[in-house]
Structure 1
């Protein structure tokens, strides 16, 4: 009985802040950053880094497009059908007011594009490691930019394939050479995937080489990590929490440096779990160092906490958690974007209020919906 009244009052307050309607509205113009990049060495002799970056930094209205959506888009395993469904997905997203897409280009130590460091994703051709005769990433970026959408390449840095998928991967790839070697990776019995050891320097080099390849060879506007850092506890790798924290610091710092060394205009951000008590909960569960990353230079351009709760949630009421993240990032150079639980609230007043709080608050740069199919419906 109280909940509808509270939501109505919150909505009224947001409307007074200047909301003009229920559907988010795109910026009239994107913030176009132009920076000439001068990398010390090229990843590809043919490709040259792109200097024009399309960003909506102060009014970001984004959506995550995961490997689950990509699997549906790619199930026919040919360029014509993928191009068609890419256009459908992007047009649908834009119709919902989206101006930025976060596309999972590496979900399991693989790639949806030709890579010197990672085998082809099984979602592209149906078999892990089997090359496609087209480049899905190039198509996705081109079509996104044609529609005025910013494109962020979403990478899971540590998660690898299952044992079965590794069977079809060529031995020229480092992850195949490292398979079963606990110096480099561990197997997770819970989900059936291998994970790189975050404290292994060769693994870190591989991750950074893969990021450099993306920024060097493709006109991406951003590089994006989600909340998976330690899916396997550090003690199973043989070290303590302090070592794990240091490893995530090195990862984030080196990826940031890698991105900026090639194109300083390209953004790098992380989307941790949104729980926030006296400190961000992911510092305990995933061995992040969120306060350092948000307040010290050289780590992040933005943070996108996944605040996936109701306004009246007992342990983590949305507004309380939101305000903690606002307080952390206010006065810093790190933008705040809020991950929203569209999978829970897609057709509710709750989601509308949360969207408008994000876009109207002076110290929040926007929001990201999890995920595309929850916002726009099934692709097929």
Structure 2
């Protein structure tokens, strides 16, 4: 996702042409009206129905989906997004990150994907690798705090999922090992590294390297409350001219059984993905594993099963990443193809790639999110289509016709904030007018918490104050809550099918007593509230009884 790789994508293409909270304010201040969950309604019509009243519910509004993953990448390598430069004080680093989270909240995102191992280094005290130079400017220098603990904790405080982004094989953005920290594993094992394209890489063909990379990643998984492990598109490096990646000796040593060197390379990457998937689930079954590859597996001219594209890079052939196989084998929990091109772009048309990936995930336990090229919007060096402020909002409108698309991730945070041509503001107004719950991943287990008990809802000087109890046993207690708000003194039993009445989600506090203040409530209006509980995999409980807050 670096600028050099982004330019490579463009040039090569052109060259070929918690528990949910629901509150209902109506009825008497002390009265509680039962609210039926969507799971209790009969499917009497396309939109379902209320089995207690016989009411037929309309189809959920596609403009306000109840579940949709919405996130932005926060890149740390070469200080793309955070920290903005090397050597900032601890206070400055923390303040910058909090501003990024504020931005995510303001745009109704529900996740962040944060790069914590950009170049075989660490944003946490790792026993495997040195502190990252992108924090202090000096490889191996302690930044004076535990960034990863801070990053995760602050994201969760806002009920944002935290996806920990690791680059598996890139060691350095320059080619001199002497620049690395003295105790860097690449200096201790010079036979592990390969210089290529002015950078250093671990050799994916060495089994000890693969195990080491997995161990380094698993240390973060085991010791921090991350919600997912995330890779981007770097496996074997992108081709650089006619330069060859020098792994012939490794192939001769470990490639028995693979007459084709390309097959051996793909097997090396397959083993990393498969083994890491198993090890993540063994350590923490609820932690997701997702990968965001370059969006073209193979062109149709190369393989009749490929996409109708003419891209200059194909992950199968050039990066030795069989991204389609990872989906078909269900080694990963989600895939985020970087569909970084506009609708109608002939070499790689957004409107052709999204349907291709939708068909690939269909019927499989792998969720599809789309990587969106926010960095291209309003940039003069890009295709003229990106000068249209509505280009990206059209992408999400197109996605509605492909129900396999469960969300989007935006590259990158600084471009989300820049909002050139008001492109993100337009997208948010068109598609993120309401918050959304993170999609469930049923294949990872989990179960909905018990129904919370909404004790009270009342207007105060601060806003409408809600109080509820979570009386579940400790292992069933909600991780977060969803709050629903209805106008008037009556709730709609069909109002839980989309996000039209979803007010917000909040992280669970300690203990059984929970609360929230709706500061957006008009003190002169009557509302009915209801609350649901969500486990860490976002299974939703039945709604609480409705409670009314009156002026």
TM-score w.r.t. length of structure 2: 0.55
Counterpart residue number, 2:181: 169
Write 1 or 2 for the structure with the bigger share of helix: 1
Counterpart residue number, 1:316: 348
Q: 1:127 pairs with 138, 150, 166, which one?
A: 138
Q: 1:237 pairs with 247, 250, 259, which one?
A: 247
Counterpart residue number, 1:187: 195
1:127·1:168 contact (CA, 8 Å) conserved in 2? no
C-alpha distance in 2, partners of 1:270/1:344?
Answer: 21
1:110·1:121 contact (CA, 8 Å) conserved in 2? yes
C-alpha distance in 2, partners of 1:108/1:66?
Answer: 12
**Alignment of 1:290 onto 2:327:** no
Counterpart residue number, 1:263: 284
C-alpha distance 75-66 of structure 1, shift in aligned 2 (>3 A): same
SS at match of 1:337: strand
Structural mapping, 1:74-89, within 5 Å: 75-89=86-100
2:82·2:96 contact (CA, 8 Å) conserved in 1? no
C-alpha distance in 1, partners of 2:341/2:358?
Answer: 16
**Alignment of 1:326 onto 2:335:** no
C-alpha distance in 1, partners of 2:205/2:396?
Answer: 37
Higher RCO (Cα < 8 Å, 6 or more apart): 2
Counterpart residue number, 1:202: 208
Deviation of 1:355 (Å): 2.5
Structural mapping, 1:66-105, within 5 Å: 66-67=75-76, 68-73=79-84, 75-105=86-116
Deviation of 1:164 (Å): 5.3
SS at match of 1:365: strand
SS at match of 1:116: coil
C-alpha distance in 1, partners of 2:170/2:360?
Answer: 29
Q: 1:140 pairs with 151, 157, 181, which one?
A: 151
Unaligned 5+ runs, structure 2: 1-58, 252-260, 301-305, 308-313, 379-387, 420-551
Aligned residues: 322
Aligned-residue Cα RMSD (Å) equals 2.3
**Range with greater deviation from structure 2 (200-209 or 344-353):** 344-353
C-alpha distance in 2, partners of 1:301/1:356?
Answer: 24
2:234·2:319 contact (CA, 8 Å) conserved in 1? yes
Counterpart residue number, 1:64: 73
2:69·2:407 contact (CA, 8 Å) conserved in 1? yes
Deviation of 1:73 (Å): 4.0
Deviation of 1:103 (Å): 0.5
Deviation of 1:131 (Å): 1.4
Deviation of 1:362 (Å): 1.6
C-alpha distance 163-316 of structure 1, shift in aligned 2 (>3 A): closer
**Range with greater deviation from structure 2 (64-73 or 331-340):** 64-73
Deviation of 1:360 (Å): 6.4
SS at match of 1:256: helix
Deviation of 1:293 (Å): 0.9
Give the greater-gyration-radius structure (CA). 2
Deviation of 1:97 (Å): 2.3
**Alignment of 1:108 onto 2:119:** yes
SS at match of 1:259: helix
TM-score w.r.t. length of structure 1: 0.79
Deviation of 1:290 (Å): 2.0
